[in-house]
Structure 1
Amino acid sequence: MADDPIHFGPFTFDPGRMTVARGGEVSQLGNRAALLLKCLAEAGGGTVSKEALMNAAWPGVAVEEGNLTVQIAGMRKLLGQDGEGRDWIVTVPRAGYRLLAAPAADRVPEPGPRMPVLAVLPFRNLSRDADADYFADGVVADIITALSRFRSFRVISRNTVFARRSHDADIRQAAADLGADYLVEGDIRRAGERLRISVRLVPGHDGFTLWADRFDGTLEDVFAFQDQITEAVASRLRPALEQAETTRSLRDRPKSFAAYDVYLRALWLIGEESAVANVEAHALLLQALELEPNNPNVLAHAVWALEHRNAMGWPPIGNDDIGRCLDYARRALEHCAGDPRIMAPCGMALVQTGKDYVGGMQVIEAAAAANPNDLYVMCVLGVSTLHCGDLDEAQLHLERALRLAPQDPDRRFAMTGIAHIAVIRGDYEQALYWAGRSLSVNAHFDATYWMLISANAYLGRMEEAKLYLDRLREIAPGVSLARIKAGQPARYPERIDTVLEGLRLAGLQ
């Protein structure tokens, strides 16, 4: 039997890594226990004799039956009991043992993509100060809690990780022991009242650093410093991890038709922010939906593709883009199990495409409450509040989004949103500053050009305004005032009308 994952009951057993996963909890097995569980799983629910089990776990070695009893007892403790109080490993009197729920041939694995597994290792204390140990452990525990709010990867529990405190093992061995695809490691140094913490994200298979950052602070407000580190690491790890998974899929499985791989390729195309790439992404997402019609990740990105297309005023793909966008949004919300990364684009579609300002805002606010450390979710909250709520509150949300991940490409949404608020308030120099910063991040985001054109036109800088208008027409052929207006919320129509008037002054019809 190949060392492919085996599903039984609520568990996924990985014989190669010798791990058992249940939900987001991953437990490491010893070599003997893994061999025994593999033997039981391969029996398909049938009874396995004690002799066969001992031969599997202790091949060629004469051992007492008590050794088998000890191993079975340990596995029972690890697996726990089912909802009716029964052990998952059942004793068959005078015969042997069997699994209560075996992986029958027609058993369907848990729905959804195979998510990457992340482990946050205990940080090294390089200052040899016992107080720093407590601080480092608190930071790690908080980071694990914050990362657990993200649904695009699984985080190994604190107890499992803290059980192995040795820093001597090779990073690849640590990943294998924990069953983790990626590891977060770090160290802490203390000099008087100053602390420095370094954090790194490392793929388990090669040990090379994918992302690293350093945080400096004082012990004057130790809890505020701890919160700052937790917020920053949690928000910046997600895009680094997502990019690593996308690169891996494009490299290792470029022609895979599994829904997860198709979804990752579509995600990469959506990030190009062009009308042509958007069409390609939408086609890929339709392929993925044929494989998994109710996959909430795929549905949410289909929502994103159609909502963004409508909001930018690009030509429609089909006869009823708006109707399909809203249908996808409702289906995604039905199946998302409270995932804020799915709720946010769906809520935005309700606001922006469906003009359901109350219902859409409720969904977006719930997403932000579920994960306030997600840059994209906070950007959506800020932009939607710009359209439907208080402008000061919108600016606070957008500024917080920028603090969360100052290097994430998604920050263009926050910068352009702040520029839009500045145009509304007549602060055109400030609008140009923020729109210029957004342009440096992504030169293909239509809304950034709207702000650059409008602010320059209001300042009487028509030459600059027309240069940006020419660039807008290059990336969005057929763009018009009517198309832009149709794709924007109208709870407070003057907020987009102010921008549109600047575009009209520059010559857009």
Structure 2
Amino acid sequence: MRIRLLGGLEITSPERRPVRFATRKTSLLFAALVLAGRRGHRRELLSEAFWPGRSNGQARNSLRQALVDIRRSFPTSKDATVYIHGDQEAIALIAGPDDADISIFDRKLEQGGAADLAFAADLYRGGVLAGEAIPEELDEWFGPYLDRYQRKALQLVDRLSLALPIPGSAEETACEGLAERLLASDPTAEAAHRALIRIHAHRGHENAALRQFELCRKALKKQLDAEPEAQTSSLAASLQSRERTGDRRPGPSSGVAASAQVLVPTRHDDQPSIAVLPFQNLSGDIEQEYFADGMVEDIVTALAHFRHLFVVAGNSSFTYKGRSIDIKQVGRELGVRYVVEGSVRRAGDRLRITGQLLDASSGLHLWADRFEGTLAEVFDFQDQIASSIVGAITPKVEEAEIERAKRKPTEDLDAYDYYLRGLASHDRAVNTKETMDDALRFFMKAIGCDPVFAAAYARAARCYAARKSNRWMIDRLDETAEATRLAKRAIELGWDDAIALSYGGYVLGYVGGDVEESAACIERALGLNPNLAAAWGYSAWVQACLGEPEKAVERAAQAMRLSPFDPRFFVWEFCTALAHFCAGRYNDAAEWAKRSLRSQPNYASATRVATASYVLASRLSEAEKMMARLRELDPTLRLSNLAEVLPPFYRPDDRSRYIEGLRKAGLPD
């Protein structure tokens, strides 16, 4: 290995000598190319990001000089495994699979065995470029990488702590070391606390495990004013129960197998939990991916209606798409007891769906079936799959919930097809004007095919809300009226549809300004489907607007628990930021908004909240930088037109502080 990025930047030449580039910018450019891998970057983007403020010619010349410096240490030759490759448009650093610690780290995570995870844990000496002085203008460039690998490290320490062999093993040592390094940089890293709790319990030291839980609880209370997650509390509760009953697990000398000693967290009240993995598309046509994905979304929705099930949101389970997986590993990572997997084959109007239900702890098959017929029977197939899964898990299913779960979203297959295409554009893509326009077009086509398709109305209305938030509206009055019309129609048609109520209710609040009606619709959605992460997320937003920030923080946390790997996770981080802002906790608001922006750098709502929060927290240099970013995202935003994007604050003081923060940050009149 010649290149280390985890824990700092260390580079070794092919001759095994330390490499020192002429400037810090060149070192960081090298790191950026390593992180990008073989896909590389466009020269124009690199020169603008690394040498801002210079003319185009000067910036490109600086880039050329830096690349010459890199080539001195890594020249191109037939034997070279690390070298620069590019043309006039783009540039990439080509490296072998074992030349960079980042590559090895990712590969070991993918392989997933206990020894592989331990190897990855030892590699993680700290965050990406930890300790390196990164100029402010490059924060946004490297921020997503820093955030991504920190999350991977937290997932790693959780996974490894659940896969430990005998006490005193190399895997246990690696896991403990990683947990301690993570806590040294962030005492609120709950996954690291959980890992240490499990390690202490693994060794038979229940008192030490409970002390670790108390350290976790105090750190969260002090720094975030938050309580431990349900997973952590459940883990501690199981230890306390052993203490009370005297049922102490044997220590390391007992010879009991490690598999019997691992503490696996459980849901409250022993609630059955399930995840539906992406179904394989066996159609031989990549264009049918959206249809297979839509099958999963609908099965998740059907299962989520059963209140006694904890159902992980489809957006989180989709992180496993295209990966070779181990069912037990999935169960540990998502914290579920059951996993569903299957496949879809569509040829014309013929359809074949296979599904199977597995026990994640043992890998045993509990149910499997195949459904074949015409496309017109697709909803019946979905009903049968959902009912079969629930029947295999528990015989106690309320009849009313079964009937609601079986309700078809539409009878029109063309409408359904357009709806699925709209979801593929809206939920699986980066939030841009183009993808939102595509989604709106598909949802409106679905409505054209089926004028009583409630969820399509709700999703179309939500597209207009995105247009308002980003100031993409062309005719604001007409588009506001259209968004409100669509939202009201969605609620009218979908009074028993949690998705229609959630999305439609949010649009009534944000675009229509009726925050109380918005809250009522979203509360009904939560009553209908308590497993719908989007409903909890929108509820967090509306509670913040109503002046109930503590409720908002709790509800955003529930959304994140239900869908921990959701590509829209950044929205719920923003809702948390907005809640802290309304509570006057400006430092917390700024940090949550910053988390959101790491995943979605172009998120205008989070940028506005971050800017106002930095100013009101007296963090003026950060506010200045954030205001510059806001002006870049929305050059025509002014105090005079700010009302176009403001949340519908119920309390006048929340609104005035928001406006005053942006005014102090330099937003022009």
Question: What CA distance in whole angstroms lies between the structure 1 residues aligned with 2:590 and 2:531?
Answer: 28
Among candidates 325, 328, 339, match of residue 486 of structure 2: 328
2:627 — aligned with what? Answer: 469
Aligned positions, number: 306
> Are 1:433 and 2:433 an aligned pair?
no
301-310 or 450-459, which deviates more: 450-459
2:465 — aligned with what? Answer: 307
Change (3 A) 1:322 1:153: same
Among candidates 346, 359, 367, match of residue 186 of structure 1: 359
Question: What CA distance in whole angstroms lies between the structure 1 residues aligned with 2:440 and 2:495?
Answer: 24
1:267 — aligned with what? Answer: 423
Question: What CA distance in whole angstroms lies between the structure 2 residues aligned with 1:391 and 1:154?
Answer: 31
8 Å Cα contact 1:379/1:397 also seen in 2: yes
TM-score by length of 2: 0.40
> Deviation digits for residues 121-148 of structure 1, max 9, x if unmatched?
xxxxxx999xxxxx99x9796659xx99
> Are 1:258 and 2:414 an aligned pair?
yes
Residue 363 of structure 1, CA deviation: 0.9
TM-score by length of 1: 0.51
The unaligned stretches of length 5 or more in structure 2 are 1-257, 261-265, 276-294, 307-340, 372-392, 394-412
Change (3 A) 1:198 1:319: farther
**Letter in structure 2 aligned against 1:398:** A
Change (3 A) 1:154 1:503: same
> Are 1:497 and 2:653 an aligned pair?
no
Q: Which has the higher helix share?
A: 2
8 Å Cα contact 1:382/1:397 also seen in 2: yes
8 Å Cα contact 2:495/2:501 also seen in 1: no
Question: What CA distance in whole angstroms lies between the structure 2 residues aligned with 1:465 and 1:396?
Answer: 27
Residue 379 of structure 1, CA deviation: 0.5
Question: What CA distance in whole angstroms lies between the structure 2 residues aligned with 1:507 and 1:298?
Answer: 40
Question: What CA distance in whole angstroms lies between the structure 2 residues aligned with 1:454 and 1:427?
Answer: 12
Question: What CA distance in whole angstroms lies between the structure 2 residues aligned with 1:314 and 1:334?
Answer: 27
> Are 1:348 and 2:506 an aligned pair?
yes
8 Å Cα contact 1:172/1:204 also seen in 2: no
Residue 416 of structure 1, CA deviation: 1.2
8 Å Cα contact 1:175/1:182 also seen in 2: no
| Larger RCO (alpha carbons 8 Å, 6+ apart) | 1
Identity across matched positions, percent: 22
**Letter in structure 1 aligned against 2:571:** F
1:378 — aligned with what? Answer: 536
> Deviation digits for residues 27-74 of structure 1, max 9, x if unmatched?
xxxxxxxxxxxxxxxxxxxxxxxxxxxxxxxxxxxxxxxxxxxxxxxx
8 Å Cα contact 2:505/2:519 also seen in 1: yes
> Deviation digits for residues 265-318 of structure 1, max 9, x if unmatched?
333443432334333332333333222222222211111011232244433356
Change (3 A) 1:417 1:410: same
2:446 — aligned with what? Answer: 288
Change (3 A) 1:360 1:292: same
Question: What CA distance in whole angstroms lies between the structure 1 residues aligned with 2:369 and 2:656?
Answer: 48
Change (3 A) 1:323 1:416: same
1:360 — aligned with what? Answer: 518
1:420 — aligned with what? Answer: 578
What SS is found at the alignment partner of 1:258? helix
8 Å Cα contact 2:544/2:582 also seen in 1: no
Residue 325 of structure 1, CA deviation: 1.1
> Deviation digits for residues 231-277 of structure 1, max 9, x if unmatched?
xxxxxxxxxxxxxxxxxxxxxxxxxx933343333334434323343
Residue 327 of structure 1, CA deviation: 1.2
2:196 — aligned with what? Answer: none
8 Å Cα contact 1:312/1:484 also seen in 2: no
Residue 182 of structure 1, CA deviation: 4.6
What SS is found at the alignment partner of 2:451? coil
What SS is found at the alignment partner of 1:294? coil
2:326 — aligned with what? Answer: none
Matches within 5 A, 1:241-252: none
Question: What CA distance in whole angstroms lies between the structure 2 residues aligned with 1:128 and 1:474?
Answer: 54
The unaligned stretches of length 5 or more in structure 1 are 1-126, 130-134, 159-170, 190-196, 206-225, 227-256
What SS is found at the alignment partner of 1:320? helix
Question: What CA distance in whole angstroms lies between the structure 1 residues aligned with 2:270 and 2:637?
Answer: 49
CA RMSD of superposed structures (Å):
4.5
**Letter in structure 1 aligned against 2:500:** I
Q: Which has the higher strand share?
A: 1
2:71 — aligned with what? Answer: none
Among candidates 558, 581, 588, match of residue 400 of structure 1: 558
**Letter in structure 1 aligned against 2:666:** G
Change (3 A) 1:507 1:157: closer
2:380 — aligned with what? Answer: none
What SS is found at the alignment partner of 1:188? coil
Change (3 A) 1:182 1:342: farther
Matches within 5 A, 1:14-413: 143=274, 153-154=301-302, 180-188=353-361, 258-271=414-427, 272-317=430-475, 319-336=477-494, 338-413=496-571
Question: What CA distance in whole angstroms lies between the structure 1 residues aligned with 2:632 and 2:585?
Answer: 27
Change (3 A) 1:280 1:142: closer
Change (3 A) 1:506 1:260: same
Question: What CA distance in whole angstroms lies between the structure 2 residues aligned with 1:156 and 1:508?
Answer: 44
8 Å Cα contact 2:356/2:365 also seen in 1: no
493-502 or 434-443, which deviates more: 493-502
**Letter in structure 2 aligned against 1:304:** R
1:217 — aligned with what? Answer: none
Question: What CA distance in whole angstroms lies between the structure 2 residues aligned with 1:156 and 1:318?
Answer: 36
Residue 463 of structure 1, CA deviation: 3.5
8 Å Cα contact 2:544/2:579 also seen in 1: yes
What SS is found at the alignment partner of 2:602? coil
Question: What CA distance in whole angstroms lies between the structure 1 residues aligned with 2:479 and 2:356?
Answer: 41
382-391 or 403-412, which deviates more: 403-412
**Letter in structure 1 aligned against 2:634:** A
Question: What CA distance in whole angstroms lies between the structure 1 residues aligned with 2:585 and 2:364?
Answer: 39
Question: What CA distance in whole angstroms lies between the structure 2 residues aligned with 1:156 and 1:355?
Answer: 30
Residue 384 of structure 1, CA deviation: 0.4
Matches within 5 A, 1:447-462: 447-462=605-620
Residue 173 of structure 1, CA deviation: 9.9
Change (3 A) 1:198 1:289: same
What SS is found at the alignment partner of 2:550? helix
**Letter in structure 2 aligned against 1:500:** I
Residue 180 of structure 1, CA deviation: 4.3
Change (3 A) 1:458 1:369: same
8 Å Cα contact 1:311/1:484 also seen in 2: no
**Letter in structure 1 aligned against 2:537:** C
8 Å Cα contact 2:498/2:529 also seen in 1: yes
310-319 or 445-454, which deviates more: 310-319
Change (3 A) 1:410 1:182: farther
Matches within 5 A, 1:2-13: none
**Letter in structure 1 aligned against 2:473:** P
Question: What CA distance in whole angstroms lies between the structure 2 residues aligned with 1:317 and 1:269?
Answer: 23
What SS is found at the alignment partner of 2:491? helix
